[in-house]
Chains A and B, each alone.
Chain A
Amino acid sequence: MAELWRRTPLWMAYAFLYIPIVVLFGMSFNASGLPTVWGGFTTSWYGELFSNDDILGGARTTLLVAVGSTIVATILGTLLAVGLERYNRSRVVDAAVMAPAIFPDIVMAFSLLAFYTLIGFTLGRVSVMASHVIFNLAFVASIVRTRLHNFDRSVEEAALDLGASELRTFWRITLPIISPGIVAGALLAFTLSIDEFVIAFFTNGPAHPTLPVVIYSMVRFGVTPEVNALAVVLIGLSFTVIFVAQRLGGVKELFT
């Protein structure tokens, strides 16, 4: 019993973090659509999501952008991880690769928009995708790098010793062993891209808004019931993806 008492600060933190989410969850089933009145249980708001063209369009766009940026970021990020862990000795390069992950998104968004305008890059799904790759590759690189760091290099030497060239060693030995890290990194990049708002907002352009941008325009004018349902769906999706990524290992090491 004393245990639970001593753990109060943690419970309070969890309460703070999760009560809003629980509230959203509850409200998404509220038929009245108002937070103050309980109108009965319904799933109609979820149904509404599927008939809302803006939301569906946003979802499609977001998915495209997320998949595209994840693929590119995973390839670049994995290569970077290998390079940083095996070949690089410069702390500057190290910091440069990790920088996008902690860079304030408003600065990135603003400068990217200025840059795209200057070079005449059409704003649309590709511009958002390209922008997302920037911070995604930093996260992928970081996670894969942790995997590489804990990797027993003598296994690679054993492969070389047994007759495999450097390339075949990478393909048959290194890559399979670090693949859980690569997948975890990819899942993380995917989630980040789906949820990302600020950079998308700046670099999206008029057509094909991403889902967060759609949500923003809906939310600016107050509480709407469909948004509750959408919120729950998105939260559920993020939770699932992160949970899977966590299982594969590597996400915790990112922050500890």
Chain B
Amino acid sequence: MTLISIQGVTKRFGDIVALDDVSIDVADNEFFSLLGPSGCGKTTLLRILAGFEQPDTGAVLLDGKNLVGTKPYHRPVNMMFQSYALFPHMTVRKNVAFGLEEERLPRSEIDTRVEEALAKVGLESMADRKPHQLSGGQRQRVALARAVVKRPRVLLLDEPLGALDRKIRAEMQLELKRLQHEVGITFIVVTHDQEEAMSMADRVAVMHHGRVLQVASPVELYEKPSSFFVADFIGEMNFLEGSLQGDRFVVPGVGSFAAEGQASEVRWLAVRPEKLLINPTEAANRLDGTVVDVSFYGALTHCVVSVPGLQTPLRANVTGPLALTPGATVTLGWNPSDSITLS
């Protein structure tokens, strides 16, 4: 069931178009992600949802009611800021209680809910400390508790994992997913890190230059990217440039390959590295090349192969070690069902 409907939102800053006719629907209780490189407009969209920016055109409907024009403090939407934005002069407890105090709730209810929220993020023992006495991860949990305690319809998270170390990041990813399920609130997470988006979200909207390119589940984004940018941005991809003639994709100077898909004005043939088979016994499409590099990563081996006529070498990933050395000739193969045609 759709909770939030962003309809035709456009936002300009001077000459720059930050958002260009953006429309997205987010379902109730969904873990949703806005993914894209810097400057793609995702943060602007988030701030419009929170109420810190107003769109030039378009509507933002929450439960059918347009939020545009409503002040941030009147929206059932709360945000976890990238810098956490904890109030430095207040203790953890007071920080978390702040929003409830503004709602003018009775003291007893505030105290109960604050304790509850602190317990949910595991910070009961830190309640009387001030922000400067906490670690980065702890501060983030305070920021989360502070937003979640208000039981908003939607929680917005701005690059929640950016400031954390690698190891803590992995832990926090699980934490966030667990928390979202526990409190049953819709999460909208803004990130530039596709691994984060893919691992946490139910659905992801990929944005670029202010436009939404594709909204889909992580699996669908990975296996069926709808544009060159999405295919390139998500995971690793091999691209062959050419044109579609009949049911074959022709790469001038290299060869022609059986291909599925009917994208109009096809220009690219894309194949995931793990779908490129090395010296296969059976494969409809084949290419010969020379091994340039073999790198062993434990579970996977990355193999880089240079093919005459292709500008960029192709990458093939296989599980386990590979008995090939640079300079060896090799045949790469793939099945048409494993390739994607893109315009």
Tell me the A residues contacting B by CB distance below 8 Å.
152, 154-155, 157-165, 168, 172-173, 176-177
Enumerate B71-93 residues with CB–CB distance to A below 8 Å.
Answer: 71-73, 77-79, 81-83, 85-89
16 contacts between A and B (CB under 8 A): A152-B85, A157-B85, A158-B85, A160-B73, A161-B51, A161-B73, A161-B77, A162-B98, A162-B102, A162-B147, A163-B99, A164-B73, A165-B71, A176-B89, A177-B87, A177-B89
Is B99 in contact with A155, judged by CB distance below 8 angstroms? no
Q: Which residues of A contact B89 (CB under 8 A)?
A: 176-177
A162:B83 contact, CB within 8 angstroms: no
- Expressed in whole angstroms, the Cα–Cα distance for A157 and B98 within the complex equals 13
Produce 1/0 per residue, B134-156, CB < 8 A to A. Answer: 00000000010011001000000
**Does B103 reach chain A (CB closer than 8 Å)?**
yes
Residue numbers in A under 8 Å from B78 (CB-CB) = 161-162
Which chain A residue lies CB-closest to B146? A162
Greatest chain B CB density within 10 A among A160, A164, A172 is at A160
7 further A-B contacts with Cβ under 8 Å, apart from A157-B52, A158-B87, A164-B98, are A154-B82, A157-B79, A158-B79, A161-B79, A162-B73, A162-B146, A163-B103
Chain B residue at smallest Cβ distance from A153 = B85
Contact digits for B26-56, partner A, Cβ 8 Å, 1 yes 0 no: 0000000000000000000000001110000
Q: In the complex, what's the smallest C-beta–C-beta distance from A172 to chain B, in angstroms? A: 8
Docked-complex contact A155 and B88, CB < 8 angstroms: yes
Q: Which residues from chain B sit less than 8 Å from chain A, CB to CB?
A: 50-52, 71-73, 77-79, 81-83, 85-89, 98-99, 102-103, 143, 146-147, 150
CB <8 Å contact, B102 and A158: no
Cβ-defined contact, A154 with B102, below 8 A: no
Asked if A155 and B85 sit within 8 Å, CB to CB, the answer is yes
Q: Are A177 and B102 in contact (CB under 8 A)?
A: no
Residues of B within 8 A of A154 (CB): 81-83, 85
Nearest chain-A residue to B77 (Cβ)?
Answer: A161
Residues of A with C-beta under 8 A to B98: 159, 162, 164, 172
- A158→B86 CA distance, assembly (Å): 8
CB-based contact B88/A177 at 8 Å: yes
In chain B, what residue has the closest Cβ to A173? B87
A13 to chain B, nearest CB (A): 37
CB pair A162–B88 under 8 Å, yes or no, is no
The residues of B that contact A161 with a CB separation of less than 8 Å are 50-51, 72-73, 77-79, 147
A-B contact count (CB 8 A): 63
Would A155 and B52 be within 8 Å (CB), given that A161-B73, A162-B99 are in contact?
Answer: no
Main secondary structure of the interface of A (DSSP, over half): helix
**7 smallest beta-carbon distances between A and B, as pairs:** A162-B99, A163-B102, A158-B85, A154-B85, A160-B72, A155-B85, A163-B73
| A160 neighbours in B (Cβ, 8 Å) | 51-52, 71-73
**Contact in complex: B72, A157 (CB < 8 Å):** yes
Q: A168-B102, A173-B87, A177-B89 are in contact. Are A158 and B81 (CB under 8 A)?
A: yes
Q: What are the residues of chain B within 8 A of A168 when measuring CB–CB?
A: 102
Q: Which residues of B contact A152 (CB under 8 A)?
A: 83, 85
A204 to chain B, nearest CB (A): 42
Q: How far is the CB of A155 from chain B (nearest CB, A)?
A: 5
A164 to B82, CA, bound (A): 20
Question: In the complex, what residues of B have CB within 8 A of residue A176's CB?
Answer: 89
Do A164 and B81 touch across chains, with their CB atoms under 8 A apart?
no
Q: Please measure, in the bound complex, the distance between the C-alpha atom of A221 and the C-alpha atom of B82, giving whole angstroms.
A: 67
- A157 partner residues in chain B, CB cutoff 8 A: 50, 52, 72, 79, 81, 85
**For A162, what are the chain B residues with a Cβ–Cβ distance below 8 Å?**
73, 78, 98-99, 102, 146-147, 150
A159/B87 contact (C-beta < 8 A), A154-B81, A164-B73, A165-B73 known: yes
Which of A152, A155, A161, A173 has the most C-beta atoms of chain B within 10 angstroms of its own C-beta? A161
Closest residue on chain B to residue A176 by CB atoms: B89
Shortest distance between the CB of A161 and any CB in chain B (Å) = 5
- Measured in the bound complex, the distance between the Cα atoms of B85 and A157 in whole Å is 8
Q: In the complex, A160 Cα to B87 Cα: how many Å?
A: 12
**Cα distance A155–B83 in the bound complex, in angstroms:** 9
> Cα distance A158–B85 when bound, in Å?
6
Known: A157-B52, A157-B81, A158-B79. A164 touches B88 (CB 8 A): no
Which residue of chain B lies nearest to A165 when distances are taken between CB atoms in the complex?
B73
Within 8 Å CB of A172, what residues of B? 98
A195 to chain B, nearest CB (A): 33
Interchain CA distance A198-B231 in the complex, whole Å: 74
CA distance A173 to B98 in the complex (A): 10
B52 nearest in chain A by CB position:
A157
Minimum C-beta distance from A241 to chain B (A): 24
For B85, B86, B89, B103, which residue has the most chain A Cβ atoms within 10 angstroms? B85
**Docked pose: A162 CA to B52 CA in angstroms:** 12
Q: Report the minimum CB–CB distance from B148 to chain A (whole Å).
A: 11
Q: Which residues of A have CB within 8 Å of B86? A: 155, 158
Instruction: Provide the bound-state CA to CA distance between A173 and B87, in Å.
Output: 7
Residues from chain A with a CB closer than 8 A to the CB of B72 are 157, 160-161
